[in-house]
Amino acid sequence: MKWTSILAIYILFWTLALFLVLPFGVRTAEEEGVKPGPGHAESAPHRFNVGRTALRATVLSAIITGLYVANYIYGWIRVEDLDWVN
């Protein structure tokens, strides 16, 4: 597998991982003990840390990409294994 293919797969997994880790660690204004500002929804995050969320997505996507490439090399799960109809 070419390194450019691995990079493209990593970027796809990073995007997926970003949406997966997005809700973790987010606290609303009510949970923080402050009143939400005017015009803000009560469910809106009080403080959002982009760096921490990106770091979580980076670690998760690196693990998933590593497993994907290892499966590609060693063939743990093949296409034939996923054919549940026949």
Q: Are 61 and 16 in contact (CB under 8 A)?
A: yes
- Report domain extents, the chain: 3-82
In the three-class reduction of DSSP (H, G, I as helix; E, B as strand; rest coil), residue 26 is classed as coil
Compute the C-alpha angle 58/64/6, nearest 5°: 85
41-84 pLDDT, tens digit each: 888 888 888 999 999 999 999 999 999 999 999 999 998 888 88
Please give the pLDDT value at position 3. Answer: 95
Residue that has been written with the tokens 């939400």 in this structure:
36
List, as one string, the DSSP characters of 14-30.
HHHHHHHHTTTT--BHH
